[in-house]
Amino acid sequence: MENAWFRRFHPSAAPGARLVCLPHAGGSASFYFPVSRALAPDVEVLAVQYPGRQDRRHEPFVPTIGELADQITALLRQESSLPTALFGHSMGAMVAYEVTRRLEAAGAAPEVLFVSGRRAPDRYRDDRVHTRSDEGVIAEVRRLSGTDTDLLGDEEVVRMILPVLRNDYRAVETYRHEPGALLSTPVVAFTGTEDPVAPMPDVEAWTEHTTGGFELIPLPGGHFFLTRHQDVLLRTITGRLAGAVSA
């Protein structure tokens, strides 16, 4: 089923499993093009395109993590039945967690939840990046190296991406975890050992949010460590999904 939210960069006639990939703040579905290419045709990758960016730039932003999760969950429920896992980096990890909660409540629990570069849902920071000046928002993005810094020198590009970044930071920074049932879905957390916004104790705290088992995979690097360790991520994802398909 085609819709504005999901990108199938490498469609497969008969995939054995599905991986739903959710972008970071300011990110887009195209960030996961290499993942789709690497996993096709055995795994169908659905890269999520949030409203307000790229080909959806004229659509209004979704202002909260919960509303994003509601809409993505409803669309996933319309997809064909396949063993499914979710992967989210940074902001995407929070959206993936909330989608997983909703899928479990609907009796459609994923096989595994992969979170990357993100503290556990109940661990907060008082950063308030979304309230900073334009220069302050850009400085934070440069600090985390989340966007090509050469592009940030292009005034036209900056004008385009600043509203996206500010909306996404607002969604993340105003999110508050609502207590409820623990997940039954296993959680695998990838983290950069030098990530300034996801210290190891806060990432380890994901274990408190699931009864399905928890694995922590620390890798050298900062907040965007995953771009240097795609091989490790892909091996882990394919191994977990292969186990789910054969189970």
Of the candidates 165, 107, 89, 88, the residue with the CA atom closest to the CA atom of residue 134: 165
For 198, other C-beta atoms within 10 Å of its C-beta total 25
Tokens coding 27: 């990110």
Burial of 64 (0-12, 13-18, 19+ CB in 10 A): middle
Cα–Cα separations (whole angstroms), residue 13 to 34, 43, 56, 162: 19, 10, 27, 38
d(CA 214, CA 189): 8
Amino acid in position 2: E
What angle, rounded to 10 degrees, do the helices at 65-76 and 155-173 form? Answer: 90
User: Among all residues, which ones are annotated catalytic?
Assistant: 90
d(CA 115, CA 142): 22
